[in-house]
Amino acid sequence: METCKTPAELRSHVKWLRKQGLSIAFVPTMGYLHAGHMELVHRAAQVADRVIVSIFVNPTQFGDPRDLETYPRDVVHDLAVLKAADVEAVFLPAAEDIYPEGSETIVETMRLATILHGEVREGHFRGVATVVAKLFNIVQPEYALFGEKDYQQLQVIRQMVRDLHIPLEIIGCPTVREPDGLALSSRNVRLSPEDRTAALVLNRSLCHAEALVARGATVEQIVAEVTAMIAAEPRATLRAVDVTEAVTLRPVSGKPNGPIAIMISAEFGGVLLIDQREATP
């Protein structure tokens, strides 16, 4: 497995792969890899000849400096699991290589970046779109894979790829969960045992929301019941419950007549977790 630290090293390895006519699937991550990331890697290996993974804790998508400082990192473990999964190359850039002095270009999906989770984390999706555009330009893959857990992120990236005519296909992958239903997330290690148990309310309330959709509930009923379930968990601080049209994330009210997305963000002991569900009435 090749470990590339600079864009030039990565580009030269990609050039070598291209000479052999090999296709590339790319999995961008912030490291501290878990089974959710590895599911993206396995899926990537099914769609292309070679898989490239990036590990970069992107400073521009963090609003809170403490969140950035305490973001979990373990590159030695990450490289071992990626090697075992037969990954072709890992891109481990330094912040100065991605944002050299004098950088001033940003990428922003104007509507999608500023609604919902973008209101909770101001500037977050601008940072995500900007770094992902840079990574796409460096790697130039045929495919890029993202998790549905970060549902709004997935839609932001799909929109950016469409709007900027970036010639690659985005593949969304279902959320991988612990056996008790908690969505895998790098931030889960920061939860105390009590908060980890409390966080199960996210998946529980999404299952309840799904059942409500199946019973023909209105969007207002779904929001009210999910909000009440999370409010009943004393360790949870609810940040947002949003029910929107799926994919476009446009507002929806009354009885939905097409697929909807239910998105929750809540803090447990200061750790912000998100979870989501798509449901069709």
The catalytic residues are 37
60 binds ligand BAL (CB under 6 A): no
State how far the Cα of 99 lies from the Cα of 12, in Å rounded to an integer: 20
Neighbouring CB atoms inside 10 A of 156's CB total 27
- Give the one entry of ligand BAL, ligand PAF, ligand ATP, none that residue 132 binds, where binding means its C-beta sits below a cut-off of 5 to 8 angstroms depending on kind: ligand PAF
Is 185 annotated to bind a ligand? Reply is: yes
Give the separation between CA 145 and CA 122, rounded to whole angstroms: 24
Nearer to ligand PAF, 62 or 213 (CB): 62
- Calpha distance 154→170 (Å, rounded): 9
Please report how close the Cβ of residue 270 comes to ligand BAL at its closest, in angstroms: 14
Residues 239, 249: contact at Cβ < 8 Å?
no
Minimum Å distance from CB 244 to ligand BAL?
Answer: 19
Taking the least distance from each CB to ligand BAL, the nearer of 50 and 62 is 62
Which of ligand ATP, ligand BAL, ligand PAF, none sits in contact with 37, Cβ below 5 to 8 A by type?
Answer: ligand ATP
* CA-to-CA separations, 208 to 129, 239, 247, in angstroms, rounded: 32, 19, 21
Query: From CA 123, how far away is CA 153, in angstroms rounded?
Result: 12
Question: To the nearest whole angstrom, how small is the minimum distance from the Cβ of residue 257 to ligand ATP?
Answer: 28
Residue 265, strand partner residues: 240, 274
Query: Which residue bears the tokens 């279902």?
Result: 174
Among residues 77, 65, 51, the alpha carbon closest in space to that of 186 is found at 77
Report what 184 binds from ligand BAL, ligand ATP, ligand PAF, none; CB cut-off 5-8 Å by kind.
ligand ATP
Strand partners, 260: 245, 279
- Which one, 90 or 212, has the nearer CB to ligand ATP? 90
Q: What does the alpha-carbon distance between residue 125 and residue 213 come to, in Å, rounded to a whole number?
A: 29
175 binds ligand BAL (CB under 6 A): no
CA distances from 161 to 106, 137, 167, 237, 257 (A): 14, 11, 8, 34, 28
Q: By rule CB under 6 A, what count of residues binds ligand BAL?
A: 4
List the one residue from 25, 30, 176, 249 that touches ligand PAF (CB under 6 A).
30
Is 35 flagged in the annotation as binding?
yes
> What residue spans of 142-199 are helical by DSSP H?
151-163, 193-198
Flag whether 186 is marked binding: yes
CA distances from 12 to 23, 50, 112, 145 (A): 15, 15, 34, 22
Nearer of residues 39 and 150 to ligand BAL, judged by Cβ:
150
- The reply to whether 212 sits near ligand PAF by the rule CB under 6 A is no
CB-wise, 41 or 252, nearer to ligand ATP? 41
C-alpha span between 216 and 211 (Å, rounded): 9
Q: Three-class SS of residue 53?
A: strand
Chosen residue from 28, 36, 44, 61 binding ligand BAL by CB under 6 A: 61
Site for ligand ATP in 118-177 (CB under 6 A): 146-147, 149-150, 173, 175-176
Q: Which residues bind ligand ATP (CB under 6 A)?
A: 29-30, 36-37, 39-40, 146-147, 149-150, 173, 175-176, 183-187
Q: Which residues bind ligand BAL (CB under 6 A)?
A: 30, 61, 150, 153
- Known binding residues: 30-37, 61, 147-150, 153, 176, 184-187
